[in-house]
């Protein structure tokens, strides 16, 4: 039996519990639409073009300013987990939930996950 936990002061035990809880629950936002179906991957890449600028913004992570990225290469492939696929831009896996592409709708950028049919939480459908 671990007697160190029994001898901890109540406040330290509460802090330890909070740290453990947060470390377990925070990663829930990561990779919402990184592993997707083949159909979603094909739909997503059909909307992307070489030399196109896309915008990366992880709102659940606290980001407020989109990072611009120019597409130099596009690919899709399996991820060796169940039957999931992934879109890769410039050789790096992409999470569609945090990716926005130019749209003609009010000159805003639209969330790629929404167009590809992947449900994502806590992300805007459009960003300016």
Q: What is the chain's pLDDT, residue by residue, as a tens digit (128 residues)? A: 545 555 555 545 444 443 444 444 344 446 899 999 999 999 999 999 999 999 999 999 999 999 999 999 999 999 989 999 999 999 999 999 999 999 987 789 999 999 999 999 999 999 98
pLDDT score for 105: 77
pLDDT score for 30: 60
What are the structural domain ranges in the chain?
29-127
Q: Please give the model's pTM, rounded to 2 decimal places.
A: 0.75
Residues 6+ apart with CB under 8 A from 32: 95, 97, 98, 113, 118, 120, 121, 123
């Amino acid at each position: 039996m671990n007697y160190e936990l029994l001898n901890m002061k109540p406040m330290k035990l509460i802090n330890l519990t909070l740290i453990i809880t947060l470390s377990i629950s925070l990663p829930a936002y990561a990779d919402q639409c990184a592993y997707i179906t083949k159909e979603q991957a094909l739909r997503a890449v059909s909307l992307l073009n070489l030399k196109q600028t896309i915008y990366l913004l992880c709102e659940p992570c606290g980001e407020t300013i989109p990072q611009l990225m120019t597409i130099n290469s596009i690919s899709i492939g399996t991820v060796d987990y169940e039957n999931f696929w992934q879109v890769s831009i410039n050789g790096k896996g992409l999470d569609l939930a945090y990716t926005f592409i130019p749209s003609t709708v009010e000159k805003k950028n639209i969330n790629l996950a929404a167009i590809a049919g992947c449900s994502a939480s806590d992300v805007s459908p459009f960003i300016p």
